[in-house]
Structure 1
Amino acid sequence: MDGTPPRENHAAAGPVGDQEISRQTDAYFNRTKAIVQRFGDARVTYAVFLRRPVVSAPRLMIDWLTKVAAARGTSIEIELMHKEGEWVGAGDPLLYLTGSFTELADLETLYLQKLGPPCVAAHNAYQMCLELPGAAFLAMEARHCAGAEMQEMMAYAAAVGSAAAQREGAKGFVGNANDSTAHWFGQPRGFGTMPHALIGYARSTVRAAEMFHETFPDEALTVLVDYFGREVTDTLGVCQRFPELAAAGRLSVRLDTHGGRFLEGLDPAASYAVLERHVPGAIRRYRSETELRHLVGTGVSAAAIWRIREAMDEAGFPKVKIVASSGFGVTKCRVMNEAKAPVDVVGTGSFIPNTWSETYATADIVSYDGVARVKLGREFLLHRNGERKRSNSN
């Protein structure tokens, strides 16, 4: 990627017809529109903002507004205050919308839906990529989304946050798990080889790998190794079964160990010993309970990743990559980086906002027919000419 999420293959989602917009918007906006139509239109300016710091991700909202304006034969002036991928402070307007009050009144509910969640998710993705800059990320959020529109928003957000982090030197997101939103990452299709279900079907980790390779012989192979709780044993078994793929760097093992147990051969003492061998400094300072769990606890810990890397290197498979998944949010990425965990790829959907109330975007009219006016307490939204950096978008 060149640092900007691709535009191709994307169409603004959401209704553009008046009837559908009327059904989906809040009733008081429909009533406002009817009142303004009766008593006379006004040219208004809305300030649109969030109450928390975010990364600007306005494209889905702008694309939809542009499409609605064209369908209605009206003009909506969009003054973007923070370009896509820029950090935005709490309460700082992301953009100003100017146009007919009649034509804008009933759109607020829908365009806010398309702005807040992507901005927060983009901020999360940006932080995760910066916290673990040496790892590539795969977006695996689709299964946690409430339908196709949310899936589109979250994939777009990951791409925006990733591009911002890539400009600061991180590898960022290189793809995702499905074809539908792969275009946001500059890919023709999603990535992925096998779920746990295939290993259960095959009754053997190695056999599942064989089945995949026989079916898709030209594909690189990533094998889940935690199904039977024999991560080390099955990792080495797969490497020994496919030495050519291993030597060519076309074999990866994926760790997704359940959070209720340790990786094969580890316990608290053994986990500390692994880190002591490789990164003693990581465990010699104060850690919170959460940080300790990420370092030496159950599930996919830093110690677990180091143990798999250690085992593969000792067995002569240094080119086999490690893919890690399970709970990789901002904090876990930070701890992994501090522990220098040798993870090549992180599969994550944890950039989806955890506190949904933080995603609520808000719009307030700040000008009526050129006269500045806003509700008491929101004066900070008033447009101050020359004090804000602006870029125009239609």
Structure 2
Amino acid sequence: KITGHYQDFGFLENLIDGVLARRTSVATHVYNTMKAAAPTPIFFMGDRQDDFRNQQGDGYASYIAGVAAQCTFAHGEWWGGDGGGTTPHALIQIMEGDTVKAAVCYADVYPDEKITALVDFNNDVIKDSLAVAKVLKERLGAVRVDTSDTLVDHYFDKLSEKEKTGLKINGVNPTLIKALRRALDEAGFPYVKIVVSSGFDIEKIKWFKKENTPVDSYGIGNSLLKINIGFTGDLVRRNGKELAKAGRRDVPSSRLEKVE
């Protein structure tokens, strides 16, 4: 609520409405997704689906909703957090498609940290995950699977058509992640965690949970940035007397805090 001369604040109405709409939408999506994924944590990856100038505010909204794990330093600028995550696919490309070499270089830059290796560049996540794990051993904290939904991982090449019947095999799917978990465990790397990303929203998370998919963290971006909560500001008093557009009125709220 704002009290004063209209000419002093009226021009700010649309700006305020827009800020509230975006921040509230993002915070609500983050909160609902976090609850759907619980107890598995989610990682806020909303950096490339919208204008980069939104990152500070979106990161703050995510933080208020309860998710402080974010992928850029801009996300943490308003609340004091740091960015984190994995290497980009670009690093693997620069290394001529060598996922192991890229992971080793990444680990060399952060010698005191366990790293998360991106392992889907060659569309063979089990093979590349094991290759990285054998070299980095306990320096490898996790692998991230980010397979596009337009692709089918090479793991399924060895399955017969009968074995694939009824399975959803495109992109990041429960069958692939279960196979990856088994392969890591059997090779002696039970400590390596699995992070999944690429097209995740509440419904996809529910599917993974229903299938008891062994996921340690969900990386989520686009679905958290949909703006679906609107705000509007209305004049509801004139010189202390209630007067408003039909359907609008002065609504008392104990949740409001005075801002000096």
Normalised by the size of structure 2, how large is the TM-score?
A: 0.88
Which residue in 1 is equivalent to 2:83? 190
Tell me the residue number matched to 2:117: 223
**Are the aligned partners of 1:121 and 1:351 in contact in 2 as well (CA < 8 Å)?**
no
Task: Kindly indicate whether the alpha-carbon contact (under 8 Å) linking 2:60 and 2:76 is maintained by their aligned counterparts in 1.
Answer: no
State the match for 1:161 in structure 2: 65
SS of the counterpart of 2:233? strand
Q: Whose Rg is larger?
A: 1
Q: Which has the higher strand share?
A: 1
Rounded Cα–Cα distance in structure 2 between residues aligned with 1:98 and 1:305: 56
Q: Render the CA deviation track for 1:280-325: whole Å, top value 9, x for unaligned.
A: xxxxxxxxxxxxxxx8341111222222111111212111011111
Tell me the equivalent position of 1:265.
155
Tell me, yes or no, if structure 1 residue 300 matches structure 2 residue 172: yes
> 3-state DSSP class of the match of 2:155?
coil
Segments of 5+ residues of structure 2 without an aligned counterpart are: none
Structure 1 segments unaligned to the other structure (5+ residues): 1-95, 163-172, 274-294
Q: Secondary structure at the match of 2:257?
A: strand
Q: 1:183 to 1:336 in 2, by over 3 A?
A: farther
Within 1, Cα distance between the matches of 2:122 and 2:22? 37
**TM-score normalised to structure 1 length:** 0.60
Residue matched to 1:176 = 70
Deviation of 1:351 (Å): 4.2
Task: State the secondary structure of the residue aligned to 2:51.
Answer: coil
Distance (whole Å) between structure 1 residues aligned to residue 163 and residue 8 of structure 2: 65
Q: Does the residue aligned with 1:347 lie in a helix, a strand or coil?
A: strand
Please give the alpha-carbon distance, in whole angstroms, between the structure 2 residues aligned to 1:310 and 1:261.
Answer: 22
Given residue 192 of structure 1, which amino acid in structure 2 is its aligned partner? G
Q: Which residue, out of 178, 189, 211, partners 1:317? A: 189
Q: 1:370 aligns with which of 240, 243, 251?
A: 240
CA 1:271–1:340 in 2, change beyond 3 Å: closer, same or farther? farther
Distance in 2 of aligned mates of 1:321 and 1:348:
17
* AA of the residue aligned to 2:13: E
Distance 1:390 1:218, change over 3 A: closer
Task: Return closer, same or farther for 1:391/1:111 CA change in 2, 3 Å cut-off.
Answer: closer
Residue 206 of structure 1: aligned partner:
100
- Aligned CA RMSD, in angstroms, stands at 2.3
Aligned-partner Cα distance in 1 for 2:195–2:229: 30
Asked whether 1:98 is paired with 2:16, we answer no
Deviation sequence 1:178-217 (CA, Å, 0-9, x none): 1122256653x21033111111111211111122223332
